Structure 1
Amino acid sequence: MKAMILAAGLGTRLYPLTEHFPKPLLPFREKPLIGHTLDLLKKANIFEVVINFHHFPDPLKKYLKTQKEFEFVFSDEPQILGTGGGILKAKPYLKEDRFVVINSDVVMQPSISELLKFHLAKKSLATMLVRSPKPTERYECLGLNSQHQIRQFKVKTIHPRYRRVMFCGLHLFEPEIFDCFPNKKIFCINSDVYAQLIQEKAPVFGSLYRGAWLDLGTLDLYLKYNLKYLTASQKSHFKQMLRKLAPGVTLPKTTSR
């Protein structure tokens, strides 16, 4: 199975950090954001990856060339093609088998193998990784029926008969998805493909993910999660520096007896 990482966006919600720098290279937990995406693919034994580029592609390509385990195909977009147009441009590389598409600005740890099992069991054309949103989160949501088929898409109010979920930024497609694409170069996978498929009650399903999920796509969230991680790392660092002598008593390791 192959994968595509969507990395062509301007990252405007992260300005000024991304004004002169590609969003996928912003650091988090001692590696670039896209490094976490590659780790996820590596765990699933997916090493053939196409990546689209637009905004400051050269430093991103330089980093990717250091990731020797992977076989990358670089898809340059002098003009941004949208999520759907970007996938369509990669069709020659992806069309032979089912494939994964993943965003480059979220950090999560789902099992792609389990996602594939779900996808095959449902005989799905497209499967979206979804999660239950927290009450404080303001994402557009999807409605799942009892069979986990997506019946409402990107709406603010979910019908009571459906489960309210949100998209996590990871899809799994059958190659037949290309037959559902509109006849144009620039388009959105959500509004121009998914919306129509769901209206037609096509086999589009949502696989529920219950693990940690961090959206670092805005400046506030990026700074929030970096600060949270650095604070936790600092506490861990000091705990390692101290050794316990008696209940409630600690001294630095460098202290003489």
Structure 2
Amino acid sequence: MKALILAAGRGERMRPLTDHTPKPLLEVRGKRLIEWHLEALARAGVREVVVNTAWLEEQFPAALGDGSRYGVHITYSFEGRDHGGALETAGGIAKALPLLGDAFWVVSGDVYIPGFAFDPVDATLFVESDALGELWLVKNAPHHPAGDFGIDADRLASRTAGPKLTWASVGLFRAALFRDIPVGTKMALRPKLERAIDEGRLRAEFFGGSWTDVGTMERLAALNAPLK
């Protein structure tokens, strides 16, 4: 099982820090955000990682190299070089498909989720199912009180089941969900998730550990405040 770390975004709300540094390369508690994911993936036995890039993308190979220091091999999907900018989430996944295989992990490079294990058992069960995707959901943060999806009685993601929870930007996906997207197309992920929900093929799990969408300077500062 390979993994894709989404790292192409501009990070507008984190300016001026992101004027000079891509958000996934900002430090949280002594490590770059993306390094938390690389180390967790390596612990779970994932050895092949794709990182998609666009904004200040030359900084990623310079900072991370080939991934060997983390116990993985990194391949880069350069959206800026090849398409002039970020392709959004679904478009970025579609471009990276030749590097990923039939089923793969996806995690956003700008979330802090240190307790997530990328469990190989979850990956195996996903492959053996007919699901197009599987999302991990968390409790809603104050900045996103309405949430995204619920979990129904069959452990499927739902637009109507309550309570609504927030997608943690971690999931498992099949390439089949994205193969109809022409490479180079800008496309958000939400329409693809809703298609899988309508087909009854989007699984969902609750994750109760620590999670932060590091989307503002205030949240970054809170994570880096001295621990009490």
Q: Is the 8 A contact 1:115 1:207 kept in 2?
A: no
Q: TM-score scaled to structure 2, two decimals?
A: 0.87
What TM-score do the two structures reach when normalised by structure 1?
0.77
Distance verdict in 2 for CA 1:12–1:134, change over 3 Å = closer
Q: In the alignment, which residue of structure 1 is the partner of 2:157?
A: 150
Unmatched tracts of structure 1, length 5 or more: 153-158, 236-257
**Equivalent residue in structure 2 for 1:101, among 91, 98, 106:** 106
Which whole-Å deviations, capped at 9, do the CAs of 1:202-237 have from their partners, x for residues lacking one?
31011111111122121111112111xxx22xx6xx
C-alpha displacement of 1:182: 4.2
Q: What corresponds to 2:16 in structure 1?
A: 16
Q: 1:122 to 1:148 in 2, by over 3 A?
A: farther
Tell me what 2:98 maps to. 92
Give aligned pairs, total. 219
Map 1:28-177 to 2 at 5 A.
28-65=28-65, 67-68=67-68, 69-78=71-80, 79-94=85-100, 96-108=101-113, 109-113=115-119, 114-116=121-123, 119=126, 123-133=130-140, 137-138=144-145, 140-152=147-159, 159=160, 161-177=161-177
Q: Contact (CA 8 Å) 1:107, 1:214: kept in 2 or not?
A: yes
Shift in CA distance, 51/139, structure 1 to aligned 2, threshold 3 Å = farther
Distance 1:89 1:137 in 2: 29
Contiguous gaps of at least 5 residues in structure 2: none
Query: Contact (CA 8 Å) 2:90, 2:187: kept in 1 or not?
Result: yes
Q: What is the CA RMSD across the aligned residues, in angstroms?
A: 2.2
Cα deviations by residue, 1:116-144 (Å, 9 ceiling, x for unpaired) = 25535754220011123256753532122
Moved more, 64-73 or 33-42: 64-73
Per-residue Cα deviation, 1:78-113 (whole angstroms, up to 9, x for no partner): 22111111111111112x331011101112122221
Question: 1:162 Cα deviation (Å)?
Answer: 2.8
Deviation by residue 1:28-60 (Cα, 9 ceiling, x = unmatched): 111111111111211211120111111112222
Which residue pairs with 2:6 in the alignment? Answer: 6
Q: Deviations over 1:133-191 (max 9, x none)?
A: 25675353212211121120xxxxxx4x5332110011101232234x4457110111x
Decide whether aligned partners of structure 1 residues 124 and 62 sit closer, same or farther in structure 2, where only a CA change above 3 A counts: same
In 2, distance between residues paired with 1:46 and 1:205? 21
1:66–1:93: structure 2 CA closer, same or farther, 3 Å change rule?
Answer: closer
Is 1:118–1:207's contact at 8 Å kept on the other side of the alignment?
A: no
Aligned partner of 2:217 among 216, 219, 240: 219
Higher Cα radius of gyration: 1
